[in-house]
Amino acid sequence: MNPIHPSNPVRFTATARLHAAWCALLPASALVAHDPSSLPKTVVTGQGDSLLETARASSEGFVGRDAIEYRPLLRPGELLETVPGLIATQHSGNGKANQYFLRGFNLDHGTDFATFVDGVPINLPTHAHGQGYTDVNFLIPELVEQIHFRKGPYYADVGDFASVGSAHLQTSKALNRSLLQTEAGIYGYARGLWASSPKVGDGTLLNAFEFQREDGPWQRAADFNKANALLHYSREQDGIGWDVVSMGYFGRWNSTDQIPRRALDSGLLDRFGTLDATDGGESKRFSLSGDWHRDTGQSHSQVSVYGVYYDLDLFSNFTYFLDDPVRGDQFQQKDQRGYGGLMAHQTWEHDLFQSPSMTTTGLHIRGDAAEVDLNHTQRRMLLETLRSDEVGQVSVAPYLQNQTRWTDGIRTESGIRLDHHRFGNRPQGASSDDWVQETILSPKGSLILGPWERTEWNISAGMGFHSNDARGVSDPNAPATPLVRTYGAETGLRTLAIDRLQSTLTFWWLDSEQELVFVGDAGNTEATRPSRRYGIELSNDYAATDWLKLDVTYGGSQARYSDPSADGNAIPGAIESVVSTGFTLHDAPGLGGFFAGVRGRYFGPRPLTEDGAQWSNGTAVLNLQVGYAFNPRWKLTADLFNALNTRADDITYYYPSRLPGEPAGGVSDFHFHPIEPIQARVALTARF
């Protein structure tokens, strides 16, 4: 419950309304850090909680623990599907980062969507497999407490990769009870989880350990094994708190990558077969972060530091025998890096022209040092090194933002961000590094009117950017643009005019001066032409009762290259329509401990070639969860994924490849990765 919700029988003054916006102004890492005796805060439990007076745009929102707990999740990446309109798919083994779609973008593995966990940035620039690579396999879903999502380049406290949107995920600091969970399912699925949060000294030490394995429906067993560990020590006293978080992740798997449609039609392959049974990978991630924060009656201060070690060894073969008809086209991508940084901000309450106002100054610093390799391999054995680079990338970004309530019905937010990036690269055999640097200034602003009749209207606009791969930026022959400018705007409304129903309607537009497009036959991304996208989003969250909640979201978009070409102006992979819907039921009178969750999602056809001649099919999936809580200690849960056993594609591409016996030059064809067939998982949870 929002302690200063307009419906409360407390006089809702302009200053109180400004305090209600406090949580929206602060970075997500600060949202659960406040001392309850200081400034009021918004407590989010579900996706439909009121955000009037709090959100700066109709597309902004929060997802609380209540909405996550009763959601069937096939893989951790689907946590991001709580962002309305976002789709997370997979075209390879589950140990690899998901592929994401939002607002007409094929985001590849994370480009143009910034993700943070406990304040630590997850996107990896100049990654071996894709710019902005975002792997969230290290997340333990049961410990994700809150997700704060925002769309568009309108927020000064996020920079690189955030043009389409961003998500800040906050993990738990403490549990009401210790948690022990065992889970099993078909296709060799097994999972165990332990979590506890005892008091240690004057603070709390949350500790969690997760182990999981699965083979999947693939003819070549995935043999996916992963382990996660989390230690989080936190302490709060008199408005001052600090946290230390350590995470560790290890994963190893075999991949069944996308296959050509002709191989299935001819009977050469089964739907779940592979043309290279040695594809797969191994990944490691270890992080240590610290956070200090202080709240007073008039200000908030926060300083966060982090350090991450990351290692990926990935083997893929998307074209089979197109480039090497004898040994095949398998390639290895290696990424080994350390990165770290600092995020600090200071927020003050004050008056601006006699109007209540808050101003935040902040600073972000990040540095990456990586070794990035691309090798030609056969059955995971090295044939030749295609390129090897030692990459360095440093960014420094001060920003300033202000939120002011001018009258009871008018408030504004304005901000400006300055990003300075240095890109360094030393290719194998080079005697020195090549360094390139660029600075970009990004103004942003929002106007929010209302609420009137429990309805707010907003208009937002801003400039953003995404960085390019340092290897391309430092290429002396054809250097890529270091920082690519984006321009965006949206207008929309948020209304609670109908009791228990929160609805948002948003019209948005986004231009990019240079598109990044995934190239299937090369396994990387390349910079292409400028683009323009626009669309509409409609989201409804209905709390029919205290125990039954429903939601439905629609997103429609149009994406085209804005620089005309004889090749055509369609953007391959640009999603045009998304529908997601579901409901949760729990703690219903007369049903005892019964609970249920249903999720359905549909993402429509996408153009696969620039001339628009080839399109993918649409995909619809229905997932179910049912369970029974026998008492506060014991709970039994059953999940059913792809409950209708739909035969559809998780991802589809169109490009040339070559099978054994086919002519040189290969055959252009659809290449797809199927969604997994119907499968069940059962979990037994004990809390004590």
The backbone region for 85, taken as left when phi is positive above 0, alpha when psi lies in -120 to 50, beta otherwise, is left
Residue 517 confidence (pLDDT) above 70: no
Cα distance from N-terminal residue to C-terminal residue, the chain: 26
Q: Are 533 and 558 in contact (CB under 8 A)?
A: yes
Q: Are 214 and 100 in contact (CB under 8 A)?
A: no
Mean pLDDT of 427-455: 91
> Does an H or E element contain 16, and which?
helix 14-20
Helix (H) and strand (E) counts in the chain = 5, 36
Structure tokens at 631: 């008492």
Task: Tell me which amino acid residue 388 is.
Answer: S
| C-alpha span between 185 and 684 (Å, rounded) | 12
Structure tokens at 544: 């029919």
For residue 621, give Cα distances in angstroms to 100, 406, 615: 16, 46, 19
The string of pLDDT tens digits covering residues 202-219 is 999 999 999 999 999 999
Structure tokens at 420: 């300075």
- Within 468-614, strands assigned E span 483-495, 501-512, 516-519, 524-527, 531-543, 548-561, 577-586, 594-603
What residue ranges do the domains of the chain occupy?
14-277+289-327+341-687
| Residue 559 pLDDT | 96
Structure tokens at 402: 């202000």
pLDDT bracket for residue 528 (50, 70, 90):
confident
pLDDT bracket for residue 49 (50, 70, 90):
low
Q: What's the per-residue H, E or C state across 178-194? A: CEEEEEEECCCEEEEEE
pLDDT bracket for residue 23 (50, 70, 90):
very low
Mean pLDDT of 411-440: 92
Q: What length does the chain have?
A: 688
pLDDT bracket for residue 12 (50, 70, 90):
very low
Mean pLDDT of 467-479: 87
Q: What's the per-residue H, E or C state across 395-458? A: EEEEEEEEEEEEECCEEEEEEEEEEEEEEEEEECCCCCCEEEEEEEEEEEEEEEEEEECCEEEE
| Residue 4 pLDDT | 29
Residue 458 confidence (pLDDT) above 50: yes
The string of pLDDT tens digits covering residues 62-121 is 999 988 999 999 999 999 999 999 999 999 989 999 999 999 999 989 989 999 999 999
The string of pLDDT tens digits covering residues 649-669 is 999 999 999 999 999 999 999
SS3 state of residue 51: coil
Q: Are 101 and 86 in contact (CB under 8 A)?
A: yes
Across all residues in the chain, what is the average pLDDT?
90
Q: Rounded to 5 degrees, what angle do the CA atoms 265, 616, 279 make?
A: 65
The string of pLDDT tens digits covering residues 140-160 is 999 999 999 999 999 999 999
Residue 251 DSSP code: E
| Residue 46 pLDDT | 52
Residue 519 confidence (pLDDT) above 70: no
pLDDT bracket for residue 429 (50, 70, 90):
confident
| C-alpha span between 256 and 251 (Å, rounded) | 16
Closest CA to 158 of 442, 542, 503: 442
CATH number for the region 14-277+289-327+341-687 comes to 2.40.170.20
| C-alpha span between 447 and 492 (Å, rounded) | 11
- Within 353-380, strands assigned E span 355-378
> Does an H or E element contain 14, and which?
helix 14-20
Residue 17 confidence (pLDDT) above 80: no
| C-alpha span between 38 and 497 (Å, rounded) | 31
Q: Are 62 and 147 in contact (CB under 8 A)?
A: yes
**Residues sharing a CB contact under 8 Å with residue 605, sequence separation 6 or more, in sequence order:** 576, 615, 616, 617, 618
Residue 183 confidence (pLDDT) above 70: yes
